[in-house]
């Protein structure tokens, strides 16, 4: 089978799997929309399960491309703000929501595959935020011994506001949460929660660092259905 045909199958299969769920998406419908015979699909993929895993594997590759490092900002807090915004955008994206939701809905996926998916997703998201967090630690804006804790707090806040509400509270809602201050608040909370020790603190940064740390925490209400 040609590469273009393979991509067409994966595109259509991903749309149907994520829209209707594994059990309701039919290989015959995937074949019809792809304009490829059902027999050709089963020749390329030994089963519907194998096709589903191929769709998830391609989604993971897409996630890795989206989390590649960007050109570095000189100011470490600006770098952290940029990373937090990228993290929020990914959490609000259908791609990440589908990658997390799909194995939950189709629990016959092998446990080893699900664990591998979780590790790859977490590593991709961690790759966005850990370098700027480390830069903040080196600049004396964050306790360098608490970088892992800082990442957990930063990611938990962003995911709570953008990802988990849509998955657990309103799973049928496909529209991403639009809130420009979520990433900013996540940075402010993280830098405030893990300040540098007195012997490691540097002179205060001008501009972004001071404005982010000085933002008062506002109450955040979950979006209405």
Q: What percent of the chain has pLDDT over 90?
A: 47
Instruction: Supply the pLDDT for residue 174.
Output: 46
- Average pLDDT of the chain is 81
* Maximum average pLDDT range among 14-18, 114-118, 183-187: 183-187
pTM of the predicted model, to two decimals?
A: 0.76
CATH class of the domain whose range is 55-213: mainly alpha
pLDDT > 60? residue 210: no
Yes or no: say if 118 and 79 are a contact pair by the CB < 8 Å rule.
no
* Chain segment 74-89, per-residue pLDDT in tens: 899 999 999 999 999 9
The tens digit of pLDDT for each residue in 164-207 reads 765 665 555 544 445 668 999 999 999 999 998 776 555 445 44
Q: Where are the domains of the chain?
A: 1-45, 55-213
CA atoms within 13 A of residue 137's CA, in its CB half-sphere: 16
Let me know if the fold of 1-45 is the same as that of 55-213. Answer: no
| Residues 131/69, Cβ–Cβ less than 8 Å | yes
What does CATH list as the number for 1-45? Answer: 1.10.10.60
Query: What is the model's pLDDT at position 112?
Result: 83
Instruction: Tell me the longest C-alpha to C-alpha distance in the chain.
Output: 69
Residue 130 has pLDDT above 80, yes or no: yes
102: its two tokens: 């799909």
Question: What band does 108 get if pLDDT is binned at 50, 70 and 90?
Answer: low
């Amino acid at each position: 089978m040609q590469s273009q045909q393979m991509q067409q199958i994966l595109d259509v299969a991903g749309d149907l799997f994520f829209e209707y769920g594994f059990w309701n998406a039919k290989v015959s419908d995937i074949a019809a929309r792809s304009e490829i015979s059902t027999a050709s699909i089963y020749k390329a993929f030994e089963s519907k399960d194998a096709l589903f895993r191929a769709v998830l594997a391609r989604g993971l590759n897409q996630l890795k491309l989206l989390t590649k490092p960007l050109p570095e900002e000189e100011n470490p807090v600006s770098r952290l703000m940029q990373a937090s915004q990228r993290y929020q955008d990914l959490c609000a994206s259908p791609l990440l929501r589908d990658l997390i939701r799909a194995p939950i809905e189709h629990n016959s996926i092998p446990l080893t595959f699900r664990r591998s998916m979780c590790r790859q997703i977490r590593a991709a998201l961690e790759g966005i935020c850990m370098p700027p967090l480390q830069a903040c630690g080196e600049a004396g804006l964050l306790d360098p011994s608490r970088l892992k804790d800082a990442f957990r707090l930063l990611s938990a806040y962003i995911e709570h506001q953008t990802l988990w509400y849509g998955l657990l509270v309103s799973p049928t809602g496909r529209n991403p949460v639009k809130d420009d201050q979520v990433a900013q608040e996540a940075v402010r909370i993280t830098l405030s929660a893990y300040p540098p020790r007195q012997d490691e603190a540097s002179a205060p940064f001008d501009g972004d660092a001071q404005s982010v740390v000085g933002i008062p925490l506002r109450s955040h209400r979950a979006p209405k259905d």
